[in-house]
Structure 1
Amino acid sequence: MKVIKGSLKPSRLAVTGAAAASAVLFLSVPAFAHVTVQPEGAAAKGGYAVVDFKVPNERDNASTTRLEVSFPADHPLASVMPQPLDGWKVQVTKSKLDKPLTLHGKQIDEAVTKVTWTATGKGIEPGYFQKFPLSVGRLPENTDQLVFKALQTYSDNEVVRWIEPQKEGQEEPENPAPALQLTAAASGHHGSTAEDTSARSAAKETTAETSTDFSDTTARVLGIVGIVVGAAGVAYGVLAGRRRAPQA
């Protein structure tokens, strides 16, 4: 029997096909999730905002036990307040500024440079994520984003450094740094607070109630005037009819 060189046995074809399929699957797998930062609402320039650092666990056999976030030195933030989280201890680190800031009419010579969360329990287990909220401000007005650096530590002592900035026109780096996008400053004032929002809402409600009360009062007055005019007209008609009646 003549053997054709270059032919493949069925088993070899199966192996080759499986390898090709694996390669396609590998190429189609999306990039792993990474540490990101997003505002709760808007992060307006010159204002204050609550931001969440979202940390997913990318490991199957280890938990995330520590998150360290470094703040940009070129745009220091004088006010940084963490929200308490069950199962986590938080530490806020401040440093002296080369150039003091002016905040609410007061000069500030130090700013927060780092916030560190350390798990007191199991941390972020495989298959879960955790949000780490911060109240920050006042946000700078001379930039469109704030770029942070985050170090994620696992229970097996592995450290993932999310510190690579995204460069315009280039692909996303392997370990991108979390970046907070800033929106345009609100007209007439720098940002807004919950108290401002409540005050504006109360003012609108008061205006609406005043307008409604005025409308109701006007309607009542017009109604009474109409009744009086109508009664006067009836009385006049009766009197006029009596005057015109023939004398007996």
Structure 2
Amino acid sequence: MLSKTTTLAAVAGATILVAPSAALAHVSFHPNAIPQGAFVTTDIRVPNEESNASVTAIRVKLPEGVLDAQGAPPAGWSFSSKTKKLAKPIKTDDGTVTSEITEVDFTGGKIKPGDFGNFPVALGLPDAAKQGQVIGFPTIQTYSNGDVVRWIGTPTDDKPAPTIDVTAPGAAALDVTGGDAGPPAKLPANLTGVASTSASATATPVAATKPATTVITKKETSTLSIIALIVGALGLIAGGAALATRRRTAAA
């Protein structure tokens, strides 16, 4: 099952710490709108909101039904996970699964005051997560001075849990601008495939798209040939002029 996470290390290598803007004041996922049944890599973005202490640990509780989750810790950090035995084993394409992952933890590193960190996690959404649902991921943030911040509230609370919106099966994973901890509770119809009366949201596709194919017509080919001949002729003229100049210089 972990064969699906082969690109995770490369993602972690690109993780950087930079000063956040006001919009990054909450723990959040990027991308945060994920298709039903998908297995994706998403970043847990964690800000440091204190002026005299570093973030030293991040613990994220996963919803029931996550059978596979793997982290790629940034430099200086360690990743670990907690599991729970399933009441009934589940058969998957990769074999029989006897436990689910209940929590993922990043520890041992530091996020300095005024910075934020990205923590890549590859996971599969629970089979029970259906299109149109919003999944919360309660998160505990620990500082070097002993302070603990519990991001476990609703989207309207001061400390909301980061959320992921479940979109239509087969859609692209998107980074949607909405609430501080995630996208709007109801995404626009063009993203979810269902009717919505919520305010519009801005979405940035994350999945790679197929390169556009350029078709050159016969007319364009003829035009290009003519241009090539003209350029070639100009090159010969310039070369001849340079040669004549050298000969005159030598004769002098």
Compute the TM-score of the two structures, normalised by the length of structure 1. Answer: 0.56
The residue aligned with 1:18 is none
User: Matches of residues 205-244 of structure 1 in structure 2 within 5 Å?
Assistant: none
Note closer, same or farther for the CA distance 1:32–1:47 as it changes in structure 2 (3 Å cut).
closer
CA distance in 2, matches of 1:151, 1:105: 32
Task: List runs of 5+ in structure 1 lacking aligned partners.
Answer: 1-29, 167-171, 192-196, 217-248
**Structure 1 residue 130 corresponds to structure 2 residue 117:** yes
Q: Secondary structure at the match of 1:81?
A: strand
1:50 alignment partner AA = T
**Structure 1 residue 91 corresponds to structure 2 residue 115:** no
**In the alignment, is the contact (CA less than 8 A) between 2:63 and 2:126 conserved in 1?**
no
User: Matches of residues 1-248 of structure 1 in structure 2 within 5 Å?
Assistant: 33-39=25-31, 43-73=34-64, 76-104=65-93, 106-120=95-109, 123-140=110-127, 141-142=129-130, 144-166=133-155, 172-186=156-170
**4+ residue segments displaced more than 6 Å:** none
What are the Cα deviations for residues 159-192 of structure 1, in whole angstroms up to 9, with x where unaligned? 00001133xxxxx1011001011220028xx99x
1:82 alignment partner AA = G
CA distance in 2, matches of 1:47, 1:31: 27
Note closer, same or farther for the CA distance 1:53–1:32 as it changes in structure 2 (3 Å cut).
closer
Identity %: 31
Who wins on radius of gyration, i.e. which is larger? 1
Between Structure 1 and Structure 2, how many residues are aligned? 162
CA distance in 1, matches of 2:168, 2:88: 25
The residue aligned with 1:169 is none
The residue aligned with 1:3 is none
**In the alignment, is the contact (CA less than 8 A) between 1:52 and 1:132 conserved in 2?**
yes
2:47 alignment partner AA = P
Larger proportion of helix? 1
1:180 alignment partner AA = I
1:39, distance to aligned residue in structure 2 (A):
1.8
Q: Secondary structure at the match of 2:159?
A: coil
**In the alignment, is the contact (CA less than 8 A) between 1:32 and 1:58 conserved in 2?**
no
CA distance in 2, matches of 1:95, 1:88: 24
Larger proportion of strand? 2
CA distance in 2, matches of 1:105, 1:161: 35
Compute the TM-score of the two structures, normalised by the length of structure 2. Answer: 0.55
CA distance in 2, matches of 1:45, 1:154: 34
Task: List runs of 5+ in structure 2 lacking aligned partners.
Answer: 1-21, 174-206, 219-252
1:65, distance to aligned residue in structure 2 (A):
0.6
1:54, distance to aligned residue in structure 2 (A):
0.5
1:32, distance to aligned residue in structure 2 (A):
8.1
